[in-house]
A and B are shown apart, each in its own frame.
Chain A
Amino acid sequence: MKIFLHNRSMLPGLVLTLIFTGAAIVSLVWVPYDTTVLNIAERMKSPSLQHPFGTDQFGRDILSMIMVGARTSIAVALVAVGIGMLAGVPLGLAAAARKGSLLDEVIMRMNDLVFAFPSLLIAVMITAVFGASALNAIIAIGIFNIPVFARLTRGAALTLWSREYIMAARVAGKGPARISVEHILPNVTNLLIVQGTIQFSLGILAEAGLSYVGLGAQPPTASWGRMLADSQTMISLAPHLALFPGLAILLTVLGLNLMGDGLRDVLDPKLRRSRS
């Protein structure tokens, strides 16, 4: 625990992440103002004591919108990381267990193929077929996460397969599937946690980008990217409309990245000394 708090990036990262997940959780039960109620009389107010971040073009409180938007961002990115891990990790384990086999080759080539489709293009295709929704964003980002986790798992698992204790497990008569689950998986978990944090932050950026161009969350679902898109035409009249949602994205992603760096330093003792 001490190492955790003494790490230079861990503490600020953790604080920022807690603020935004906290805001998302609190928004489930309470927000300063109801974001579904329009109040034209109060529209485009600059930040004040009543509305710390001001109000938007429909008179909605921006602080409340950001709290509700945090929910969308976090939910989309979290599920997308989940998809990537649930599909990618078993694929990576299987490929490593059967290194050089047809299975390995097929899995890795499929990964290469998916890698050629940036999540934006996957989202473009899904939207062209099914129309835009937050679900699209989840699927598009999730699909792009699969090869990330598959490659990482395979690479890490391959080095583990040459270790003596794996040899011992084989001598003891354990099959490749059992070894993968009992011995390989626990030893790649640290790496997966670190990469998970990074993909989580990339997912939040991707969700914001997709919602900004209209391929992600649709109104009335509050989303940071959507708020930025709506603010664009009014940016010269009311810069605060664009300022706060953008800062929310920046700080959340920054927090997650710092936490990821901190986790990497803490969880990988080899790096603790060599990195400045």
Chain B
Amino acid sequence: MLQYFLKRLLSLGLSLVAASVVIFLALEVVPGDPAAYMLGVNAQEDTLNALREQLGLNGTILQRYLSWAGGLLVGDFGTSYTYRTPVSELIGERLWVSLPLALYALTLSTLIAFPAGIWAASRRGSYADAGVMGVTQLGVAIPNFWFAMLMVLVFAINLRWFSAGGFPGWEDGFFAGMKALTLPAIALALPQASILTRVMRSSLLDTLGEDFIRSARAKGLTRGQAMWRHALRNALIPVLTIMGLQFSFLLAGAIIIENVFFLPGLGRLVFQAISSRDLIVVESVVMLLVFAVIVVNFAVDLAYALVDPRLRRRR
């Protein structure tokens, strides 16, 4: 287990370095000088130089990469060109919206998908199964931002149960915050829950066809007992993989959904940064999200090894 862990850890480190190089180089080719942008057209040459020095824009490309990447390691993302505040502060504030939103959606999606998938699998071929599959077919095809707009129309504008957008902040209490995130989280969760339900169902059906389930039935367990005691745990591996992949879609999807509900999250930050050409903010947000994707998938790999000891040896 330790060897497996160390091997995965090494590949995690390499992936993170590679991702940071790609992001750095991609935004390095941008024409224009941020220092000139910040100071305007009438800036003196020595003031420009001083600011470039302060922003870490002088030096070779390697030096700049190392100072940026070194900063990332200690949580220093640099200074925003337009807000003039540390990027880490900007991101920290916004993360308090985006991260709870993604987790809320992941929770909802799991709470929907597990029972629905198990229910459909245990009634394979019935109308219930066909119904669940039909709904998931729609859930996969619906653009989630459109679904969000429809929910705003129904639940915020017509029924007035929720506000149509905005975020009161967590200072107003946990429930006020969660209430503001509820419609966005449902919109975000719907397509993911649909995918997860399908995966749960087909994985469970595959497992139910295995020999050890027949053995369990042969020793006298009912179909339900065999499923709960033996099939479910074995069916979880593909489900975990998809959940890991989905986390990245949830974070990225949050960027779009935040736009529908005017939530002050990472999405809004990154779009404002693009329009004001605040590249260091774009760079940092992208890096953070890619970092999250890579780390979550690493965690999923480890989770497999815990669920299925066979996988530790196979790799």
Contacts and interface: CB of A to CB of B under 8 A. Distances in A.
A and B form one complex: yes
Interface residues of B, number: 50
Nearest to B126: A276
Interface string A111-129: 0110011101100110111
B220 interface: no
Nearest to A242: B149
B290 A235 contact: no
Q: How large is the interface on A (under 10, 10 to 19, 20 to 34, 35 or more residues)?
A: 35 or more
A250 B141 contact: yes
Interface stretch (A53-61, A63-71, A79-87, A253-261): A253-261
Nearest to B16: A116
**Could you tell me the dominant secondary structure of chain A's interface residues?**
helix
B82 interface: no
Given A129-B30, A242-B150, A113 B143 contact: no
Contacts of A235: 149, 152-153, 157
Contacts of A205: 141, 143
A246 B150 CA distance: 10
Contacts of B248: 116, 118
B153 A113 contact: no
Contact of A120 (B124, B141, B255): B255
B143 A209 contact: yes
B293 interface: yes
B137 A254 contact: yes
A166 B14 CA distance: 36
Nearest to B152: A235
Contact of A124 (B137, B143, B277, B286): B286
B149 A125 contact: no
A208 B143 contact: yes
B29 A239 contact: no
Contacts of A117: 19, 22, 290, 293
A235 B259 CA distance: 15
Contacts of A209: 143, 145, 253, 256
Contacts of B149: 228, 231-232, 235, 242, 246
B232 interface: no
A258 B134 CA distance: 11
A121 B252 contact: yes
Contacts of B273: 128
B62 to A, nearest CB: 20
A116 B141 contact: no
B141 A128 contact: no
A246 B124 contact: no
Nearest to B289: A121
